[in-house]
Amino acid sequence: MEEGKVRERRPFLASECTELPKAEKWRRQIISEISKKIRDLNDEINKLLREKGHWERVGPRMLDHEGKEVPGNRGYKYFGAAKDLPGVRELFEKERTFTANLYSMDDVQFRKSRAELMKDIDAEYYGYRDEDDGALVPLEQEYEKQVILEAVEKWKAEREARLEGGREEVEEEEEHMYAIKEDEVNISQNVFPCLA
């Protein structure tokens, strides 16, 4: 508390307050206390519900008639006046607009079945018909020619650099993939003495 300021107590009756700024201040203070108590009570209820879930065999996605679950909030429920709190109200508004955009058709809300969702999925969805229109093949051929030209130019530049550096171009002989090296023969004799 600052020096010289006396903390004013809120009058019990609103009729005792005669100044508008003070009345608005007390009203805001009461609303914030109510919100805090509602949030605390809601948190306590959710804590008890979570603890109750530990004692039951039922999965955690159970919904009851008294609470409403916000999607993506891991089962946190809002009861009674807690649904009307400022931060919570926006969550439910987002949910309503999201579901309205997804499922509304002529102002009738419904949930699409799996069959309805799969109705529009065909070979084109998976990209199997990309080459049918004939537009992709010429583009791929053009790109392939460009990549080959770039690779040849790079190879020529590297070859010129080697020749200018005074190194002769020596073509390495490819190693025969089935050839048996002498070390491998010695190892097999040590491991399998019966083969020697």
Where is 109: in which H helix or E strand? strand 108-109
DSSP summary character for residue 66: S
* Cα gap 138→162, rounded to integer Å: 36
pLDDT for the residue numbered 64: 46
pLDDT for the residue numbered 192: 58
* Cα gap 196→190, rounded to integer Å: 9
pLDDT digits (tens, 9 = 90+) for 134-178: 788 888 899 999 999 999 999 999 999 988 887 665 566 677 777
pLDDT for the residue numbered 195: 55
Question: Among 63-72, 170-179, 180-189, which range has the highest average pLDDT?
Answer: 170-179
* Cα gap 100→109, rounded to integer Å: 7
Token pair of 159 as six digits: 């070859």
Three-state secondary structure call for residue 64: coil
